[in-house]
Chain A
């Protein structure tokens, strides 16, 4: 079995387990709040920090890779904006836009150590720092124009959320500590690493718990378009930008993987908050998560050729 496929089985197995736990009521829907919060506030930042701090960036070109990743998300935003020409209600378009640009990096991060090695995993972790604010700003701007909410978007609040985002802070702290040679080993590094090991299983369980198969019937034409954008067009766009910018080897495979990740549940939360089509968003996240089990390894294999 290839390393990617071997890593894929537990990743999607744990996602399926999360879905089964919520569906059977073993861990009912209202009880997932604390699990989410602990993951987001503490465990995921710990994982990002310890993945980045220990990486040897001398062996991998992080600079061009990050510029290509940012360009990939901007390009997907521009491509998705093109679909505004097709007549559809504003809130539906906002969900199509979020579907095209939002990514769930944790699925890729779970595969990364086995598929790309520790340095490849660190590249995946690094992508969070510039792209989480970028993607959030793009989505909030689009929601402000076409969302159903009558209140104007509060960009001050969005900026505050970005500045205090634990994932971004952890990435920056990890990169800083890596550059200074701090906390790369020893008791503190071991503690953060131990905490971080709990992040992926929990986030994969919560991804599974969030799957909503009844939402798959909502707006089948737009859903098909958003899934195609995310799982087929985005990986091709990221790959092409990588090739054009001279990214190669494992970094190019990682870059394609970033494009090929499924949609993120944060899109659903924002759609609810700012008047997007939340049902369509739930369907998009569910469909892309399930289909990514096939398309993500296929994209990685093609990029590695």
Chain B
């Protein structure tokens, strides 16, 4: 069991560590990460999300329970983040940061780990788990940062409409729902030709997203506001996966799906949250600290939780 868990987690976290060292040692100088991040956020991440979601069977057997539990995890994270922010008397901008980090789990890490744990079998569930997580979480975080900057929820709409990740997710979910209902518009060979470059670009670049996650780690941001930092990491990497595990067991989710739900929702937050925070002049320093701590906590807690879930 220990070796199996090591084989699943080591490569992904090793690449996160490599990303951190590549920036720290200036193998890739600071100024050059911008292009890499932009490529991730605008192209590679949307490409992989679209491909996974478009090919997901969101109406298949067990889909309602799995998507429901995944969505519940996001809503629980939102509620917990708002509650703790209130208890800690956090400002609106700090609350937005806490909400964003708590609600978003790292989808790329999830896809990588799911593939390493269950191989192609995992594909049955990955899209179902990702769909609500991505759509709900993206709406929540873009709204949170846009509202605290603009002071009005309606101001968040233009930002949401233009967000490449949300566009890709909605397009993927739409294709997934509509494609089985209508007769094929294009011959299969044309569809494959259109999907294949996105698949190659997106899947091949999982490692790149992990490396940029590492490059974004900022240990100097861990100083100060420790209660907020810890709250974000504990909600993200401890409370939510435990809640999701409980819900999956209560609702009788498939055993493999349960493991994957824990693997997804217990993952650290994503560098993408930092990109959104920066774009909206949010508390990006605080967000960087929260993401860093959530990566550290997840690196320890997630393998343990996954092993426990596999033993259930």
Where the two chains meet, the residues of A that have a C-beta atom closer than 8 Å to any C-beta of B are 1, 9-11, 13-14, 16-17, 21, 26-27, 30-35, 37-38, 41-43, 186-187, 190-191, 193-202, 204-205
Contacts and interface: CB of A to CB of B under 8 A. Distances in A.
Contacts of B196: 9-10, 13
A193 B14 CA distance: 12
Given A187-B14, A191-B10, 8 more contacts: A10-B200, A27-B35, A34-B28, A38-B32, A190-B116, A200-B200, A201-B201, A204-B200
A193 B15 CA distance: 11
Categorize the interface residue count of chain B.
35 or more
- Chain A interface SS verdict (over half): helix
The listed residue with most A CB atoms (<10 A of its CB), out of B28, B189, B192, B210, is B28
A17 B38 CA distance: 15
20 contacts: A13-B193, A14-B200, A34-B35, A34-B36, A35-B39, A38-B22, A42-B27, A43-B208, A191-B11, A194-B112, A194-B207, A195-B207, A198-B204, A198-B211, A200-B204, A201-B44, A201-B200, A201-B204, A205-B39, A205-B201
A43 B204 CA distance: 11
A1 B189 CA distance: 9
A199 B197 CA distance: 14
B178 interface: no
A27 B200 contact: no
B95 to A, nearest CB: 32
A14 B39 CA distance: 13
B163 interface: no
Given A11-B200, A26-B42, A38 B34 contact: no
- Chain B interface SS verdict (over half): helix
B35 A194 contact: no
B35 to A, nearest CB: 3
B123 interface: no
Contacts of B7: 186-187, 190
Contacts of A32: 35
- In order of increasing CB-CB distance, the 3 nearest A-B pairs are A13-B197, A34-B32, A31-B35
A30 B36 CA distance: 11
Contacts of A14: 197, 200-201
Nearest to A46: B207
Contacts of A191: 10-11, 14-15
A127 to B, nearest CB: 22
Nearest to A186: B7
B197 A202 contact: no
B11 A187 contact: yes
A33 B32 contact: yes
Interface in B24-81: 27-29, 31-36, 38-39, 42-44
B6 interface: yes
Contact of A187 (B6, B27, B207): B6
A16 B197 contact: yes
A33 to B, nearest CB: 5
B260 interface: no
The listed residue with most A CB atoms (<10 A of its CB), out of B10, B112, B200, is B200
A53 B199 CA distance: 26
Nearest to A110: B200
A31 B38 contact: yes
Contacts of B22: 38, 42
B124 interface: no
Interface string B215-242: 0000000000000000000000000000
